[in-house]
Structure 1
Amino acid sequence: MLAAQKMLVLLCVGISLAHDSITPAQLKNIEETLKELKRENEALRSFTKDLSDKLESIQADNKAKKVAFSAGLLASGSQQFGPFDTRETLIYQKIFTNTGNAYDSNTGHFTAPVNGVYFFRFYAHGHPSKQMAVSLHKNDQIQCSVFSLKPETNANGSNGVVLSLQKGDKVYTQLWENSWVFDDESSYTSFSGFLLFPL
């Protein structure tokens, strides 16, 4: 019986109660109708909660799929980095975009928020007579690099790669030992990446 029909039955019974005394059969019918209404109400609440949970899950998945960042090495001013005795992670401070907050400007690390295929590109700028060498790493493994050995003029290097990442994998760039890179407000040295599609 539909809820509206049951409400109509209860209304009719209520009207009859106003005129006559209720019979045991009517009382039993009212109790059964109330129990059925309660069951249907609980089922409706459960259905509504399931829909709400599914909607939240879909929204979370869609949010996790929106991943893109781009950053320059310096937030302001100009500076030459290096040389160092060991390889050093470059920490990019000038955030152009960080949708999904997967890039950490405190560590220079991009951390994959979901399993997926990602694209990364980095640029490095060097000055004359100075070695410029930078590598992109996935966790502790070099994926690709740029290198210029003491150029006669300014040197620019760029490389990019498509990587399959698991949630929690880290991608970052490192300056090689005994190497230099330069950056200023024009953001010659930068790092970018985005999710192509989830897996």
Structure 2
Amino acid sequence: MRGSVVLLLLVWGLCGSEALQEGSRLESSEPQSKILTEAAEDLPEDNAKQTDIWAEVRMLQDMLVEVRNMEVGLKEVEGLKAELIANKMHMEQLEMRLRQSEVKTTELEEESAALQARLSSSEGELVISRSRIDQLEKQTAGAPKVAFYASLTNSGHVGPFNTEITLKYSNVWTNIGNAYHAATGFFTAPVRGVYYFQFTLCIDQEGFMGVYMYKNNQRILFNWGYTNENGYLKCLTNAAALELQAGDEIHLRLPSGHSVYDDGNRYTTYIGYLLFPL
């Protein structure tokens, strides 16, 4: 009978321990270990066998406590494991971002190297251009500056005449170097070089308009036009680049039977300038 009581107390203690592990709250206000201890004390201790049983009961209680501690430790280990997994994922993300940053840094370094190469090339070209400009400045430093611009007249029609005449562009607006002579209509080259000349002719009545260009006494160009309308301007323009020696003369002549028109609006004009000396 006593053995049965002890066995029942042991089973009840184990059940109580399992209930505590699952989180069930006991209605009893005293711990099971205390109840078991008091129950054991109420039993008569008449032999060594009963003492061994209670020792085993206490040992089982100690084992249950250790099991609970192990379960708590396992939960902590699981928590640490989850934290380690999260940290590992975070580290992998950081490593990915680091690799992306390294790729971007490499691209920026390559772009910087390319820009540096272009800058070096541009600096070299700038030095060459500056040298060429210096050479041109030295070449043109002592060269004369020659340019003129003039219009024919303010009085309207000039011609037609029965003979060829020299056109004297009397309204001189620019004459740098004084190479153009309004009184004669002649341009005289001050230095050997290449010169540019351009003229424009207009007419506002029925008939022919035209002009000859002479280099010294040699005719080198002829332009002409015709209109059968009165009161409407018709114009033509031409130009020439000529190599001249110092003292060579250029002038324009109106052919016989031709006429031109000009007034304050400067329809019929004549320009020339030195491109570069030789």
- State the TM-score bracket (shorter-chain normalisation): 0.5 to 0.7
Name which of 168, 174, 178 aligns with 1:97. Answer: 174
User: Is 2:192 the partner of 1:115?
Assistant: yes
User: Is 2:152 the partner of 1:70?
Assistant: no
Q: 2: distance between equivalents of 1:171 and 1:198?
A: 17
Q: How does 1:37-48 map to 2 (within 5 A)?
A: none
Query: What code does the residue aligned with 2:244 have?
Result: L
Question: Scaled by the length of structure 2, what TM-score is found?
Answer: 0.47
User: Is 2:229 the partner of 1:176?
Assistant: no
> What corresponds to 1:147 in structure 2?
224
Compared CA separation, residues 155 and 103, structure 1 to 2 (3 A): same
RMSD (CA atoms): 1.5
Compared CA separation, residues 92 and 63, structure 1 to 2 (3 A): farther
- Sequence identity, in percent? 42
The structure whose RCO (Cα within 8 Å, separation 6+) is larger is 1
> What corresponds to 1:165 in structure 2?
244
Question: Scaled by the length of structure 1, what TM-score is found?
Answer: 0.65
- Unaligned stretches of 5+ residues in structure 2: 1-139
Give the count of matched residue pairs. 137
Instruction: Please tell me whether the aligned partners of residues 143 and 277 of structure 2 are also in contact (alpha carbons under 8 angstroms).
Output: no
Instruction: Please tell me whether the aligned partners of residues 64 and 113 of structure 1 are also in contact (alpha carbons under 8 angstroms).
Output: no
User: Is 2:276 the partner of 1:197?
Assistant: yes
Structure with higher strand content: 1
Structure with higher helix content: 2
Aligned-pair distance for 1:63? 6.4
Q: 1: distance between equivalents of 2:142 and 2:171?
A: 23
SS at match of 1:131: strand
- Unaligned stretches of 5+ residues in structure 1: 1-60
